[in-house]
Amino acid sequence: MPERILKAGPAAWIAQLILCVLLIVLAIFCLAAGAGFWLTFVFFFAAIVGLWIAFKVATGSAYLILDEAGFTKKTVFTTHRFEWGGVSGFAVVETWPKLAGFAKKVVAFRRLGEEEPDMFSAVTDLFNPGKGFGHNYDMEPDHLADLLNDYRAAALKPPMQDEEGQKTSENSPQGDY
């Protein structure tokens, strides 16, 4: 299968921008209400770091590269490479807790050979890059899981070993070619 690059859609960084603006407003209210310096500083610092992360995501610093050998998951801070043979199949799980009856759906996987009781532990350890994806790269989670499973299946498909499945001039209905 050809190499494919998936980038985070605008929803990911717009949501971060909204959260950062809310943190700045909260910091201003803390400052106006005479709250402690450190509390105000924490809100401002979190907003500034969040704005930096949103800018990096918006400019394409977070992406997913799919190729024949595996996939590369790049976040704002780190890059991780996984081979298709070293990971389980991909599945969609809902995160916990559900807010107002809704839960974010994420695509989860597991590295093969790791002793874990639960294949879908991405929802319990969101900061471990070897367990799932923080966002769905502007795709529905089901479609992303299907795409990843298709790439994995194509990479793990055994090559044809016998002559039966190979086209030759002897078994071709068109004769020599």
Percentages of the chain per state (helix, strand, coil), in multiples of 5: 40, 20, 45
Q: What is the pLDDT of residue 154?
A: 93
Q: Which two tokens stand for residue 159?
A: 């090559």
Q: What is the pLDDT of residue 152?
A: 95
Q: What is the pLDDT of residue 139?
A: 85
Nearest to 77 by CA among 42, 6, 41, 129: 129
d(CA 87, CA 112): 5
User: Are the C-beta atoms of 106 and 93 separated by less than 8 Å?
Assistant: yes
Nearest to 65 by CA among 137, 149, 134: 137
Q: Lowest mean pLDDT: which of 13-22, 98-107, 119-128?
A: 119-128
Mean pLDDT of the chain: 78
Q: What is the pLDDT of residue 83?
A: 94
Q: What is the pLDDT confidence band of residue 103, given thresholds at 50, 70 and 90?
A: low
Choose between 101 and 72: higher pLDDT.
72
